[in-house]
Amino acid sequence: MNGTVATWSYDSLYRLTGQVKPGQVATYTLDGVGNLKTMWEGGSFPKTFTFNAADRLVTMIEGVKVTTYSYTGYGALEIEQTPTGFATHTYSGQDQLVGSVSGSGLTVSRSTYTFGGDGLRRTAQNGNVQPTTMVWDGADYLLLNGPSANQVVLTLGSEIVSCGDFDLLPDSLGSVIGDTRAGFDPRLLYEYWPYGMMSASVIRAMLPFLYVGSLGYYNDSADRDYVRARELMKKTGRWLQVDPLWPGERTFGYCESNPTSHTDELGLDLAKKIIDLIHTIGDLFTPGGGGVGIVPAPIKPPKWVNGVPTSPICIPNCPIIIWETPPPVYGNYCGPQGKCAISPPPNAKDALDKCCQGHDNCWAKLGCDAFNQVVREDCKTCTRTLCKCLKSATCSTAACNLARETFTRIYCRIPFI
């Protein structure tokens, strides 16, 4: 958008090792498990990191400056001690950041945060000013009631397009590099290093949506972003808290060390895992694609009586073995497991799971599958109905809200609807 040409380099595991822009050079090295060993983003010296056996960052060395880190019993970053100051973080029983105190000398700043039962942040207060209250539409920002102004947040297709009076101008990753508003020319204002620290700013940032801001990363401070389930420490390229999906996911790693290609707007890698699984299933069972020799189930639709299947439901082109592995991502029906249901089918876990069950049944009736869903209008109708159901489904747990947000972001957009 701004005409700047960037060049990136990667190692054999597709992990970022360098970025070159006009006047900017960044380099990174990693250890065997993906931890950043060094990070050089301008400046006189690179940052050198050391870790313990639990993959926790314990020291950051920058020239002669040494910063040390210590953690809570649950593994969340608790104390950051620099040569000139400190930062202390406190958490709820669900590992949500509820307080942060930082200082140097006699200067101390405090921030406090509260959360709702769905796991999403409700208020953010910095210093002695009135808190900002966050109103959500599902897991999308809807309204920010700030100490001096209220800002309506407009989201289209899970992407934030405006906040208050400003329309956001994002780059291809989703980072906001400028804005525009009625009666004014577009402004290109910001540039970022790959892990989110701002590398250039024409003006002081006024909006909270900056690095990957169009996808909901919320700027808490120069080196920390709130990303729904967790907090991203941009200056170290790591999360503050352990991944809720650990040990299935890496403890603190961000986007598989490839921040120029991937984002994680939920604060965990569930959405990416779902997309990867969809691709894996497609690769295994595409006609002529080889795969592992599992024979697809027949396309013959089941027999229906009064809207209930009386014979096994088989999602077309879905091998029966998928019924066992991988399991559904949520409930009995939500997820790309492509299972072939038995007769009688299991009950839906809750309202959200019932939405997914309805989608499975719609596909089975029409003979839709992962390959024709983007070209057949009747198959898209199944997904449109799913999206309406997801929006209205009542969730009473954080897991349900997370699953609803994940499937909404993946399926409720072009080319699926």
Same domain, 230 and 284: no
Q: Which domain range does residue 220 map to?
A: 7-237+251-268
Amino acid 43: pLDDT = 82
Counting the structural domains of the chain, the total is 2
**CATH code, domain carrying 153:** 2.180.10.10
For the cut 60, the answer to whether the pLDDT of residue 69 exceeds it is: yes
Largest Cα span, the chain: 76
**CATH code, domain carrying 289:** 1.20.90
Alpha helices in 286-392 (DSSP H): 351-366, 377-392
By C-alpha distance, which of 353, 412, 415, 414 is closest to 383? Answer: 412
Question: CA angle at residue 336 from 331 to 338, to 5 degrees?
Answer: 95
The DSSP secondary-structure symbol of 134 reads E
Residue 417 lies in a domain: no
Same domain, 290 and 318: yes
Distance CA 83, CA 4 (A): 36
pLDDT bracket for residue 385 (50, 70, 90): very high
User: Residue 114 burial by CB count (10 A; 0-12/13-18/19+): exposed, middle or buried?
Assistant: middle
Same domain, 256 and 340: no
Task: Compute, in degrees rounded to 10, the torsion defined by CA atoms 268, 270, 272, 275.
Answer: -170
Alpha helices in 85-164 (DSSP H): none
Residue 244 lies in a domain: no
Helix or strand or coil: residue 385?
A: helix
> Could you give the count of Cα atoms lying within 13 Å of 215 in the half-sphere of its Cβ?
19
- The answer to whether 73 touches 66, Cβ cutoff 8 Å, is no
* Sequence-separated (6 or more) residues with CB below 8 Å from residue 406: 266, 270, 271, 274, 329
Write out pLDDT tens, residues 77-112. 999 999 999 999 999 998 999 999 999 877 899 999
> Could you give the count of Cα atoms lying within 13 Å of 218 in the half-sphere of its Cβ?
23
Same domain, 261 and 289: no
For the cut 90, the answer to whether the pLDDT of residue 154 exceeds it is: yes
Write out pLDDT tens, residues 298-356. 333 444 444 444 444 444 433 333 333 344 568 888 875 444 445 567 788 899 999 99
pLDDT bracket for residue 379 (50, 70, 90): confident
Same domain, 158 and 289: no
Same domain, 308 and 326: yes
Residue 132 lies in a domain: yes
Amino acid 370: pLDDT = 66
pTM exceeds cut of 0.75: no
Amino acid 299: pLDDT = 35
Amino acid 324: pLDDT = 31
Amino acid 266: pLDDT = 84
